[in-house]
Structures are given as structure tokens and as C-alpha cells.
Amino acid sequence: MRELPELSVHHADPSTFPPGIAYMDGQYLPIGEAKISVLDYGFLHSDATYDVAHVWKGAFFRLEDHLERFFSGLEKLHMTIPYDRAQVAEILHNCVALSGLQNSYVEFICTRGMSPTFSRDPREAINRFIAFAIPFGSVANSEQMEQGLHAAVTPIVRIPPESVDPTVKNYHWLDLVSGLYVAYDQGADTAILVDTSGNISEGPGFNIFCVTDGKISTPKLGVLKGITRQTVFDICREMQIECVAEDVPPTKLKRADEVFVTSTAGGVMPVTKIDAAPVGSGSPGSITRRITESYWRMHEDTQNRMVVEYPAMA
Ligand SMILES: *Cc1c(COP(=O)(O)O)cnc(C)c1O
């Protein structure tokens, strides 16, 4: 064989970053060793569904809700895995326990997989389940949590629900990633996409809320039903703050007193600037702060927690 020229390495080394544990094919592995075939349709066609739960101070938060959403996604995509809910919960638990991470981002995925004959018929593919636990990550860094995010409302339309069911958590992210580049060009931190009617939809991995005269609104259609979004509904009910899912035009968002976004990756995060203008006073608002505090307090409730039992240190 002809000798190949030496290549400079441009990819991050997955064997050293980030730390974590994955599960695939019946085995627990260091995250850097968990690899799939390039022929997997999850990779080639984004033919996959997934979920992300988190562990905070050694316990999963609302894991049942994540399992429910994941299994309902499998059904809608005609996928099957050889594990039931309790077994998936056990696998996720084991990934976290073996990783030793007290605060963890726990992703579980089902890809279409590949068919033994590389047939193009998705019914012939053998679906693949993968799970992993890595350190907890956030949409907003600590400075952005303090000061608030700067978001750009982009003209990019989120894939409509008539094309891809948004309630099935999926990797159709090119619209979201394109939005990020539009946002970066404007000096913003993140992007907000619109729906086919021009109303606000969602951003890269988060749902959007605005507070106007003490009332909260969040887009109703064409968005993933976030578990954090649901948690905000629950918190608002408890605090007796009106919170409704409805159409949110960009003008409403821009004139709002407060704006915040929600994701398992970070929780409740303030937005203090949209396009070129400050939101309200330009600093995180009091309702956003109260909801954020309540969100983290809910992590202490035993009914929301599944405690991780870590192996004793050697
Ligand atoms: C995961 C995700 C969210 C947030 O959902 P959570 O369950 O709160 O993490 C919002 N939008 C999209 C597109 C997502 O993938």
C-alpha cells in the first residue's frame, strides 16, 4: 500500500474528553470506546430518537417522564429495543454509577441501526440502543446564567410538525444549527426559530417562555414538549401564576417584561437581550428568578428523585 501522507489531527480526542460511561451491545464502556458503524441509519439519515435526563447531586430528576417520552417516540417511529422501561432505567443508573458523576447529562438513543443486507427498507433494520452519562452540561454558561442570554430571532423556520413530529425528540438539527450561525453573525449567543406562521417556536435544545404583565406564555405548536417546560407549568400552578401554551408572535416576545428558556441542559435560563434590544430592564427578571429557584428546590422532593447508588470507592 502506498504510504499515506501524515495528517494533522483536527478532531478532539474522544478517549480523554469528556469523561463518562456508555452502554452498548450489552457492555459498559468508557465513553471514548463507544462507537457505531458509519452505515447506521441513525448517522446516515438522522433516523433516530433520543432523550436526555439529568442527575443532580446524585439523583435523577423526573426520570419517569423522560422514559415515557422516549418509549412513546420509539412507538411513533416503529422502533423496538430489547429492554423495557425498568431495564432502561437500570442501564442509565449503571452508566451514572460507574461514571461516578454526581451531576450528569444522561443521554439514551435508539437508532434505526442497519439491515444485515444494507437494504433501504427501514423495517429490515436492527434497531440499536445506546446510553451514556457525561458531566452535566448547560445551554448557558455561568456568566450567561447571571447576566442572561442574548438571543436572536432568526427568519429560519423550524421543521414543521407536518414534516417531522416535534414531540419525538430527534436529531433534525440543521435548522437549529443554521440558526446559531445567523445568531453568531449578529453577536448573539443563541438562536430562536419561528414556525410556518411566523410565530416563535424553539431554539437549539430549549423551549421559550415570555412574561407579560405577570402572565406567562410559551409556544404551543411545533415544539418538543420539554420536561423542563412541563416543570415550569407545574411550578406556575403552584405559585398561582398564569402560564399558557399559545401562539407567541415575535413582537410579543420582544415587548415582554421577561424572557427565559428551558432545557434539561441548564434548567431555567434568563434571556435579557433579543436582537439589538434589552428585554424589560435588561437583567434577569424576578419571576424568572423565582421559577429558577423553585426548579432547583424541586430537585430535593423525593417524588422527583431516583437516587443513584455509586459503587464504594476502592
Ligand atoms: C430536548 C429539547 C428541548 C428541551 O426539552 P427538555 O425535556 O426540557 O430537556 C426543547 N427543544 C428541543 C428541540 C429539544 O431537543
Q: Are 153 and 278 in the same domain?
A: yes
Centre of ligand 1 from the C-alpha of residue 9, in Å: 33
Tell which atom from ligand 1 comes closest to the C-alpha of 231. Answer: 8
Domain total in the chain: 2
Q: Is residue 48 part of a domain?
A: yes
pLDDT value, residue 268: 98
Residue minimizing CA distance to atom 10 of ligand 1: 206
Shared domain check, 130 and 176: no
Residues in the ligand 1 pocket, defined by CB under 6 Å: 52, 169, 202, 205-207, 224, 226-229, 262-264
Burial of 112 (0-12, 13-18, 19+ CB in 10 A): buried
147 and 210: one domain? yes
| CA–CA distances in Å: residue 81 to residues 42, 119, 130, 161 | 14, 20, 10, 25
Query: 257: CA distance to ligand 1 center in Å?
Result: 24
- For the CA atoms of 48, 68, 238, 280, the dihedral, rounded to the nearest 10 degrees, stands at 0
Q: How many angstroms separate the CA atoms of 314 and 311, rounded?
A: 9
| 197 & 125 share domain | no
How far does the centroid of ligand 1 lie from the alpha carbon of residue 122, in Å?
A: 26
Residue 124 lies in domain: 21-135
149, 234: one domain: yes
Residue that finishes a domain, picked among 82, 105, 135: 135
Q: What tens digit of pLDDT does each residue of 284-296 get?
A: 999 999 999 999 9
* Tens digit of each residue's pLDDT (9 = 90 or more) over 143-173: 999 999 999 999 999 999 999 999 999 999 9
Would you give the end-to-end CA distance of the chain in angstroms?
A: 48
**Under-70 pLDDT residues of the chain:** 1-17, 313-314
pLDDT value at residue 201:
98
Q: What is the pLDDT of residue 312?
A: 83
Whose CA is closest to 183, among 153, 149, 209, 205? 153
Both 165 and 126 in a single domain?
no
Q: What is the mean pLDDT of the chain?
A: 94
* Same domain (yes/no): 222, 288: yes
Ligand 1 nearest atom to the CA of residue 69, by list position: 7
Distance of alpha carbon 39 from alpha carbon 129, whole angstroms: 15
CA 218 to chain centre: 17
According to the model, what pLDDT value does residue 17 have?
64
Domain with 258 in it: what CATH number?
A: 3.20.10.10
- The pTM (predicted TM-score) of the whole model is 0.94
Atom of ligand 1 nearest to the CA of 176: 13
Domain harbouring 80, CATH code: 3.30.470.10
Under 8 Å between Cβ of 172 and 46: yes
Residue nearest to atom 14 of ligand 1 (CA): 205
